Amino acid sequence: MSYAKGEASLLREPNQRKLLFSAGLSWLFDAMDVGIISFIAAALTLEWKLSAQQVGLLTAINSVGMAVGAVVAGSLADRYGRRSILIWTLLIFSAASGLSAVAATFTVLCTLRFFTGFGLGGELPVASTLVSESVAPRDRGRAVVLLESFWAVGWIASALIAFFVIPHYGWRMAFVIGALPALYALYLRRAIQDSPRYTEQQSRKLPFGERVASVWSADHRRSTLTVWILWFMVVFSYYGMFLWLPSVMVMKGFGLVKSFQYVLIMTLAQLPGYFTAAYCIEAFGRKFVLVTYLLLAAGSALWFGNAATEGSLIGAGICLSFFNLGAWGGMYAYTPELYPTAVRSTGVGLAASFGRIGGIIGPYLVGLLVARGTAITAIFVIFFVAMVIGAMAVLFFGKETKGMDPDREVSNRFVPKRV
């Protein structure tokens, strides 16, 4: 079936709903694992007497793996298909997560977290590309943001695991739970297929070097530069803030269990953030969602850093979760729309990989600043500036992609003009 014939509404097409749910569950497991490490870091600080710099390294090493995984899996998905690479990355991160449960030293745990990150970083851009290619342009943005909403559910699951499992059964059991997605990968082998667009264009596969050159060609250079800045600033701020959130709560005087409870409340705000972004992205466009949500997230970061009361802290954390994760949904919807099918997964993977550099720097920088006695207020000013830069890059240099078809644009450039 051709893509054109398959452009039924996302809400009316059972196969597309099945794809969204199937890919969404893999996204949920990714988020659950990333979220768990932020809570485990807080627990290990007490059990293994980790320094702030060690906590920063533990959280950053995950992003190192994600950066490598995004490039490798993004490239392989354009060559061997989205479905097979999605399944393999899910298996890799599940195995590494399970093995983390038996880590006896900090070095071994960091090594395993690298491979966990490799699988995670590879899966995310491939899943978003697969969903983006499999639905009609009028539903594309909403579909990818809804896919991203599974991230919030996964983070909520990690907060629940932290609250109910870690205090009673220890952090190792949390890693064991993180290995369960390996069983889900077996289901995915039959549940999903490659997108019609990718299947139709298998004969047009390009070597990796040509795909990278295309991403940075004159046709895409401005978009690539814009989206790389966007990814870097969003990932830098997100991982810098949220992987440290439980630890920051402890620094502000709350006990470990109380901190987990408050972070769970803040995390619940991610879901409405995604759902409102899913509506706005089709109603008002991609740039509107990215710029608006990032600026409001930046303001929330300032509020959180300066919060002095319990109520103010929770309120700021809720707003931070709402707007920052809504912006994430917009970013994942926006990026695949900038590139044609032949190089789409490579383009998304490269942008995600560059963003992960920010994910490496963010949490490690927080660890360094905390170790030097820098105030939390000053640290969150840094994240405020980062999100404003990301918003301004999209506002002034980004193009609106709502309803656009990159493949059709490429084809039209080769159609002779009438005279």
What is the torsional sign of CA 186, 21, 131, 208? negative
Specify whether the CB–CB gap between 336 and 129 falls below 8 A.
yes
In degrees and rounded to multiples of 5, residue 277 shows phi and psi of -65, -35
Flag the least confident range among 174-178, 271-275, 321-325, 409-413: 409-413
Ranked by mean pLDDT, the top range of 8-22, 70-84, 274-288 is 274-288
Give the model's pLDDT for residue 416. 40
pLDDT band, residue 4 (cuts 50/70/90): very low
| 246 three-state secondary structure | helix
Q: Which of 70, 45, 5, 61 is nearest to 239 (CA)?
A: 61
Give the model's pLDDT for residue 11. 45
Q: How many CA atoms lie within 13 A of 350 on its CB side?
A: 23
Average pLDDT of the segment spanning 296-323: 90
Cα–Cα dist 5/12, whole Å: 14
Give the chain's mean pLDDT: 84
Give the model's pLDDT for residue 58. 85
pLDDT for 212 beyond 70:
yes
Average pLDDT of the segment spanning 259-265: 74
Nearby residues of 296 by Cβ (< 8 Å), 6 or more positions away: 319, 323
Give the model's pLDDT for residue 413. 47
Q: Which residue has the higher pLDDT, 200 or 21?
A: 21
Ranked by mean pLDDT, the top range of 151-155, 251-255, 328-332, 381-385 is 381-385
Cα–Cα dist 47/20, whole Å: 40
Give the model's pLDDT for residue 408. 63
Give the model's pLDDT for residue 115. 94
Give the model's pLDDT for residue 409. 58
Nearby residues of 328 by Cβ (< 8 Å), 6 or more positions away: 148, 151, 234, 238
Homologous superfamily assigned to 13-189+206-410: MFS general substrate transporter like domains (1.20.1250.20)
The tens digit of pLDDT for each residue in 114-164 reads: 999 999 888 888 888 888 888 877 788 888 888 888 888 888 888 788 878
pLDDT for 204 beyond 80:
no
The tens digit of pLDDT for each residue in 330-376 reads: 998 899 999 988 889 889 989 988 998 998 888 888 888 988 889 88
Average pLDDT of the segment spanning 295-321: 90
- Provide the CA 332 distance to its chain's centre, in angstroms: 8
Domain residue extents for the chain: 13-189+206-410
pLDDT band, residue 201 (cuts 50/70/90): low
HEC profile of 173-206 = HHHHHHCCHHHHHHHHHHHCCCCHHHHHCHHHCC
Q: Which residue has the higher pLDDT, 122 or 198?
A: 122
Give the model's pLDDT for residue 338. 93
pLDDT band, residue 57 (cuts 50/70/90): confident
The tens digit of pLDDT for each residue in 88-112 reads: 988 898 899 899 999 999 999 999 9
Q: What type of residue sits at position 315?
A: G
Give the model's pLDDT for residue 256. 59
Cα–Cα dist 141/151, whole Å: 16
Flag the least confident range among 17-26, 48-57, 128-137, 256-265: 256-265
> What's the predicted TM-score (pTM) here?
0.78
The tens digit of pLDDT for each residue in 38-51 reads: 778 878 888 898 88
Q: Retrieve residue 301's tokens.
A: 């970061």
